[in-house]
Amino acid sequence: MKSKQKSEERICLSATEEDYLAMLLRSLERGVKRVRTTEIAKVLKVSPATVTNMLDRLKRRKLVYYRKYHGAQLTEKGKILAAKIIRKHRIAERFLVDVLGMDWTETHKEAHELEHALSDELLERFERLISSTTCPHGHPIPSKKGEIFHDCSQPLTEFVEGEEVRIAKVAHHLEKDVKTLKKLEKLGLVPGIEVKIKQKQPVNGPIMLQVGNKKHTRTIAIAKKIAANIFAIPATIKDLCLEKEASKDEKRSQ
């Protein structure tokens, strides 16, 4: 166990296989363990038949549990591999913003290419140059051992009027939606920013938020549909209170 390269790191996966594992891990981060074939097809924009074929292949490689009509779930081995792919993605995104000065709204596509190509050595070099524990969209970077983390953020829609919150992250699926991200940026709704829930209109009405500093505050309206995809924590909490996802053969260390 002391050697740097563990056996699972030598498993050779195609970029497509990696995309499936990463997709399943993102679902797991949202608390969804088993994902339906139709859902995978929708997210990855492929036909259900293609998904079924791929899941059979990943099952043979012992990376997913899969039974027809029951959906797919990562095995422990699959989870560790998937976490490593996501780790590359998020470190790459961070690197693109922190070191190369790229706009956070545009990193996802580039990082998606890099996650399949980055060597472990290059990744370590990237990691040394970044300082955050999350990607620019606010998602926690998995550990080197392949552990993933849950944070304590909640959708903006869950807070009550008068509450002051700090934006923690945007939903996974918004990462590739450059148009919406640009809109959020224009409104000042980016991870790390504090806002106050001013008013919640009933039913599907917009949420009014107070943004800005003490000198210049302004009120903006944000559609409930969008607000449900922006996650925040109470402003009084200092960090994301990251919690490791429980793993069955997890060793207690550090």
Residues that bind Zn ion (CB under 5 A): 93, 108, 135, 137, 175
Smaller CB separation from Zn ion, 29 or 93: 93
Residue 240: CB partners within 8 Å, gap ≥ 6? 133, 134, 140, 151, 152, 153, 168, 233
6: tokens are 């563990």
Q: How far is the CB of 235 from Zn ion (least distance, A)?
A: 22
231: tokens are 């996650």
Q: How far is the CB of 135 from Zn ion (least distance, A)?
A: 3
Tell me which residue has tokens 């224009």.
186
Q: How far is the CB of 26 from Zn ion (least distance, A)?
A: 9
Q: How far is the CB of 138 from Zn ion (least distance, A)?
A: 7
Smaller CB separation from Zn ion, 18 or 175: 175
Q: How far is the CB of 139 from Zn ion (least distance, A)?
A: 5
Query: What whole-number distance in Å separates Cα of residue 183 and Cα of residue 187?
Result: 6
DSSP string, 111-172: HHHHHHH--HHHHHHHHHT---SB-TTSPBPPPTTS--EE---EEGGGSPTT-EEEEEEE-G
**Residue 121 and residue 55 in contact, taking contact as beta carbons nearer than 8 Å:** no
Smaller CB separation from Zn ion, 166 or 169: 169
Please give the residue whose beta carbon sits closest to Zn ion in the complex: 135
Q: How far is the CB of 172 from Zn ion (least distance, A)?
A: 8
Please give the C-alpha separations between residue 250 and each of 30, 78, 148, 235, in angstroms, as whole numbers: 20, 15, 12, 32
Smaller CB separation from Zn ion, 135 or 222: 135
Smaller CB separation from Zn ion, 106 or 245: 106
196: tokens are 């106050």
Smaller CB separation from Zn ion, 143 or 210: 143
| SS3 assignment, position 218 | strand
